[in-house]
Chains A and B, each alone.
Chain A
Amino acid sequence: METILKDLENIFLALYVIVFIISILKFPLYKNTPLKFLPLIFFFTILAEYLGKYLTHLGKIHLNIFVHNIYYLVHFSFFFYVFMKVIDNIRFKKYIGICLGVFLLFFFNDTVFTGIFENSFTKTYIAGAGILVVCIILYYVNILQSSQVLVIKNDLLFWVSVGLFLFYIGYIPIKIIRTWFYKPDSFFEILLIIQFSLIIIMCLFFLTGFLWMKKKS
């Protein structure tokens, strides 16, 4: 089991790096879209993953928790901003604005009551992931109501959103189980296999998006 886990972890870490490199190579094609900060998000993801491992190795667990908590804030806020920008339905934009406010409230609440160095912001993460799933659904409804659907396979954001959607739909229950039902038991490693597989699937969707995308102003 451990070998499988190690292999999957290596694969998804390598995929993150490949996605980051391709996102830079393809940058000219989406530099004028709200996704222009995507390479930075990928960089932050890689940094959080590798730095997290390094810091844990050094025993600086609190710094690792801090990096991840800040990562949650940047990661989710970025995607809320992207979906708010690309959706042209005013009502949906308002919903996303409210959702962003709710997410920031969760973050503020966790900062005050949980402590940014002490514990991982699980509630913030689950709220952010749930809200992101809602944003993606609103984005899909927006696409289906327009003629964008005809050229959607060449749209980077569509593939990125499919990757995120599948990842968070699968990962939210895992996060909940791991947070509230966790016992130091090798049985929980099954969930880790699913989690790593979800990351790999998400990265593959990102790669598909970058490879199929066409320039958008």
Chain B
Amino acid sequence: MDEKEIIIIAAIAIPVTLVIIVIVLFSVFSRRKNRLLQEQENAKKEFDRELAESQIEIREETLRNISWELHDNIGQLMTLAKIQAQIAKDKPEMMAEVSETIGTGIDELRALSKLINPESLKSLSLREAVSLEIERFNRLKFIAAELTVNGTEIPIEVNTQIILFRILQEFFSNTIKHSKASILKVVISYSDKELAITALDNGVGFEKDNDFMGIGLKNMKTRAQLINSVLTIDSAKGEGTALHLRYKFA
């Protein structure tokens, strides 16, 4: 092959190669871009679905709580007030006690009305929402619950907060229903970069390889992933259960 032939081949091959490279580059990058956009859209749909499900579950849990409160707390107070009022017919000095019991009932009703308000979680911060749950557990004597907040509170985006709250609510619900625990401790720690939540009980616990919480645990993990947070659940038989959640601020 002489020099002229080499030059002719090069003169044809170089532009052809460049055109092929441009086409390949364009098609590879645009395909990858379209796939990523599709994945983002799917992730958004998944997030919206989980958010809607979380909201429904929070609402159901709230209705259940209202039912318990009406039956076990306010109902009992009203029954007591009725008995006291009947006694007060003969002993008018008892009227002060009747009034006090009714007053307590009214206070409990006010506390309950906060829970009924569908906008409550949107207007409350995560700390306030968790604090209300903890107060309720103590008031109804479900469990001895305690909340500790470290650091300066940083506002969290409403939808993310709903999902975080629902994860904790699910954990609390499992603790109360299944763990036979007497103590529940919740620690919320704010730092500049992240929010760390730890919730632990002193219940019966479970072996990690057991599918103890089943779908509930999977849901919690899926939801944690959706808001780019890391959730771990540690438990051993007889040693209680601990939830650790780390949410990085964007």
Which A residues are within 8 Å of any B CB, using their own CB? 140, 143-144, 147, 149-150, 152, 162, 165-166, 169-170, 173-174, 177, 181, 183, 185, 187-188, 190-191, 194, 198, 201
Contacts A149-B29, A150-B37, A169-B21 known; A181 to B14 CB distance under 8 Å? no
Residue in chain B with minimal CB distance to A151? B33
Please determine whether B3 and A181 come into contact, CB atoms closer than 8 angstroms: yes
Assuming A147-B36, A201-B18, what are 10 further A-B pairs, CB within 8 angstroms? A149-B32, A162-B25, A166-B18, A166-B22, A169-B21, A174-B14, A177-B3, A177-B6, A177-B7, A190-B7
| Residues from chain A with Cβ under 8 Å of B13 in the complex | 173
Please determine whether B22 and A191 come into contact, CB atoms closer than 8 angstroms: no
Please determine whether A169 and B17 come into contact, CB atoms closer than 8 angstroms: yes
Question: What's the nearest-Cβ distance from chain B to residue A37, in Å?
Answer: 26
Please determine whether A194 and B37 come into contact, CB atoms closer than 8 angstroms: no
Contacts A169-B17, A187-B4 known; A174 to B32 CB distance under 8 Å? no
| Residues from chain B with Cβ under 8 Å of A190 in the complex | 7, 11
| Residues from chain A with Cβ under 8 Å of B28 in the complex | 144
In the bound complex, how far is the Cα of B29 from the Cα of A140, in angstroms? 9
Please determine whether A194 and B29 come into contact, CB atoms closer than 8 angstroms: no
Instruction: Give the A-B pair count, Cβ closer than 8 A.
Output: 56
Which one of A150, A162, A191 contacts B10 once the chains associate, using CB atoms below 8 Å? A191
| Residues from chain B with Cβ under 8 Å of A149 in the complex | 29, 32-33, 36
Please determine whether B29 and A152 come into contact, CB atoms closer than 8 angstroms: yes
Please determine whether B3 and A187 come into contact, CB atoms closer than 8 angstroms: yes
Q: Which of B31-65 touch A at CB < 8 Å? A: 32-33, 36-37
Contacts A144-B32, A149-B36 known; A191 to B11 CB distance under 8 Å? yes
| Residues from chain A with Cβ under 8 Å of B7 in the complex | 177, 187-188, 190-191
Question: What's the nearest-Cβ distance from chain A to residue B164, in Å?
Answer: 24
Judge whether B155 is part of the interface by a CB distance below 8 angstroms. Answer: no
- By the criterion of a CB under 8 Å from any partner CB, how many residues of chain B are at the interface? 20
In the bound complex, how far is the Cα of B6 from the Cα of A24, in angstroms? 41
Taking each of A147, A149, A166, A194, which has the highest tally of chain B beta carbons within 10 Å of its own beta carbon? A149
Please determine whether A169 and B18 come into contact, CB atoms closer than 8 angstroms: yes
| Residues from chain B with Cβ under 8 Å of A143 in the complex | 29
In the bound complex, how far is the Cα of B29 from the Cα of A201, in angstroms? 20
In the bound complex, how far is the Cα of B33 from the Cα of A143, in angstroms? 10
| Residues from chain B with Cβ under 8 Å of A170 in the complex | 14-15, 17-18
| Residues from chain B with Cβ under 8 Å of A169 in the complex | 17-18, 21
In the bound complex, how far is the Cα of B35 from the Cα of A144, in angstroms? 11
Question: What's the nearest-Cβ distance from chain A to residue B171, in Å?
Answer: 32
Please determine whether A173 and B10 come into contact, CB atoms closer than 8 angstroms: yes
| Residues from chain A with Cβ under 8 Å of B36 in the complex | 147, 149-150
Shortest 5 CB-CB contacts between residues of A and residues of B: A170-B14, A181-B3, A149-B33, A149-B32, A190-B11
Question: What's the nearest-Cβ distance from chain A to residue B249, in Å?
Answer: 18
A-B contact pairs, 18 of them (CB 8 A): A150-B33, A152-B33, A162-B25, A169-B17, A170-B17, A170-B18, A173-B10, A177-B3, A177-B10, A187-B4, A188-B3, A191-B7, A191-B10, A191-B11, A194-B11, A194-B14, A194-B15, A198-B14
In the bound complex, how far is the Cα of B10 from the Cα of A173, in angstroms? 7
| Residues from chain A with Cβ under 8 Å of B21 in the complex | 165-166, 169
